[in-house]
Structure 1
Amino acid sequence: MADTALLDVDGTLVDTNYQHALAWFRAFRRFDHTVPIWRIHRAVGMGGDQLVPAVAGDEFERAHGDDAREAWVEEFDPLLPEVQPFDGARDLVAELGRRGWKVVLASSGKQKHVDAFLDLLDARELCEAWTSSEDADATKPAPDLFQVALQRVGGGAGVVLGDSSWDVEAAAKAGMPAVAVRTGGYSVEELRDAGAAVVHDSMRGLLDGLDSTPLAAPSP
């Protein structure tokens, strides 16, 4: 029975996807490798272990993968002050808890970034747990992170909220329904084709239509 709401953070609760794309672009340029930013954006939502080979190729991954991921952190950190929560994000987290869900922020971001976003959302007391990239061996679109997040709170079954096709694919692999918002820049068609049960344009729109989604209420 579904009792746990698993919420992606980057691109879903906080507006970071384009900062991530720019940071990755700059990180690749450190190695004289240019990837069009639109292509990087299409991969945002993957963990860094999967994004690098997906957009830069396996040869680049073998030669520079770990160094590129370190460079990405160095490029992303100065952009943190620009990050803002989406309108309604904290209200949604609070509403899910009010309705009886176990709420877990299922992030594959760096722990220091997750901490920064928790403070930005002022959501620590609203969540039963949260994850980071340190908590799973394989990142999205692998299902590991959602499985770990569910286990962390002793949940019976979960419903995922995300913004990217990679979130939705990972949810499907974990056997969980997914609700999607377009806040990460993915289209309705992409999110539905990946398997999203419901797609909303905004967090406020999701809140207004919550009763018609799998996040309406936990299973009795």
Structure 2
Amino acid sequence: MGLPTDLRAVLLDIDGTLVDSNDAHAGAWQKALLEFGHDVSKSAIRDWIGKGGDRLLPELTGIAEASKEGRAISARRKELFRDHYLPKLRMFPRADELVVRMFDQGLLLAAATSATRSEVLALLKIAGVDDLIHVETTADDVSSSKPAPDVVNAALEMLRVPPERAVFIGDTPYDVEAGLRAGVPVIAVESGGWSGRDLKGAIEVYRDVEDLHERWDESFFGTGRMPAPRPRHGRMPRGAVPY
């Protein structure tokens, strides 16, 4: 068997999926918040990584990202991440090989992430796949970050692919919810720190992208079958995807 005949595109999360960067994001947020007098533990922040600052800041501190303080904290976090964390980041093993495999099979590829555009471009270079991604949709392109489906919907629109002909690969419950709310089946990886139990709703769960690459023939990609279409929802029912 080969690729599902109806499959046209793969949407990819980056942080925690292709690049080992979730802890770095949590560290940058923690330091930025502390500089502004907000002492939040890294472990508490870590649970919200995968959402954008528009959600993380108010949910952790009650500060709106669009407020004067929120903008200052977000700008400082961006500086800290760029200057102190980004240069040390590495891709997950065989992440580049998996993306090359998809590209070589003629699939359209999109990055769909809650990170900022400048961070996405840098992270794709770290993963060694910046020249293989057809489009990028980021927090800068939408009004609401994950778990809202906006970045997924934007990627589909840019690729001109309907949701039933795409699959989304991510590492957090917020990726799963965003994909399902857009009507796109989700393959999850545990490399971002979440377990399979936390990733309910995904059609498949793998240890990491290397595991998916090695088990390609027995995976969704090798079976030749698309999953049954799911109805699109305004929001997943509580309990369907853990928060």
TM over 0.5: yes
Tell me, which stretches of 5 or more residues in structure 1 are unaligned? none
Q: Structure 1 residue 125: deviation in Å?
A: 2.8
Q: Structure 1 residue 58: deviation in Å?
A: 4.8
Structure 2: how far apart are the matches of 1:22 and 1:176? 31
1:207 counterpart residue number:
213
Percent of pairs identical after alignment? 33
Bigger Cα displacement from structure 2, 148-157 vs 207-216: 207-216
2:199 counterpart residue number:
191
TM-score calculated relative to the size of structure 1: 0.91
2:50 counterpart residue number:
45
**CA 1:152–1:211 in 2, change beyond 3 Å: closer, same or farther?**
same
Equivalent AA in structure 2 for residue 203 of structure 1: V
User: Is 1:181 matched up with 2:186?
Assistant: no
Equivalent AA in structure 2 for residue 120 of structure 1: I
2:137 counterpart residue number:
131
Contact 1:21 1:44 in 2 (8 A): yes
**CA 1:142–1:47 in 2, change beyond 3 Å: closer, same or farther?**
same
What pairs up with 1:99-178 in 2 under 5 angstroms? 99-157=105-163, 158-178=166-186
Q: Which has the higher helix share?
A: 1
Q: Structure 1 residue 208: deviation in Å?
A: 1.6
Structure 2: how far apart are the matches of 1:108 and 1:33? 23
Structure 2: how far apart are the matches of 1:212 and 1:137? 38
| Residue 29 (structure 1) aligned to one of 27, 31, 34 | 34
Bigger Cα displacement from structure 2, 84-93 vs 70-79: 70-79
Equivalent AA in structure 1 for residue 11 of structure 2: L
Q: Deviations over 1:113-155 (max 9, x none)?
A: 1121222222133222222222111110100001101111111
Any runs of at least 4 consecutive aligned residues in structure 1 with deviations exceeding 4 A, and if so which? 58-63
Structure 1: how far apart are the matches of 2:183 and 2:24? 31
User: Is 1:13 matched up with 2:21?
Assistant: no
2:231 counterpart residue number:
none
**CA 1:16–1:113 in 2, change beyond 3 Å: closer, same or farther?**
same
Structure 1: how far apart are the matches of 2:162 and 2:118? 29
2:233 counterpart residue number:
none
Bigger Cα displacement from structure 2, 145-154 vs 123-132: 123-132
**CA 1:151–1:59 in 2, change beyond 3 Å: closer, same or farther?**
closer
**CA 1:125–1:189 in 2, change beyond 3 Å: closer, same or farther?**
same
TM-score calculated relative to the size of structure 2: 0.83
| Residue 74 (structure 1) aligned to one of 60, 79, 83 | 79
Equivalent AA in structure 2 for residue 161 of structure 1: I
Structure 1: how far apart are the matches of 2:71 and 2:136? 25
What pairs up with 1:79-98 in 2 under 5 angstroms? 79-98=85-104
**CA 1:27–1:154 in 2, change beyond 3 Å: closer, same or farther?**
same
**CA 1:119–1:62 in 2, change beyond 3 Å: closer, same or farther?**
closer
Q: Structure 1 residue 59: deviation in Å?
A: 7.2
Q: Deviations over 1:64-99 (max 9, x none)?
A: 222211121122112111110111111111111223
Structure 2: how far apart are the matches of 1:21 and 1:49? 15
Equivalent AA in structure 2 for residue 187 of structure 1: S
Equivalent AA in structure 2 for residue 52 of structure 1: L
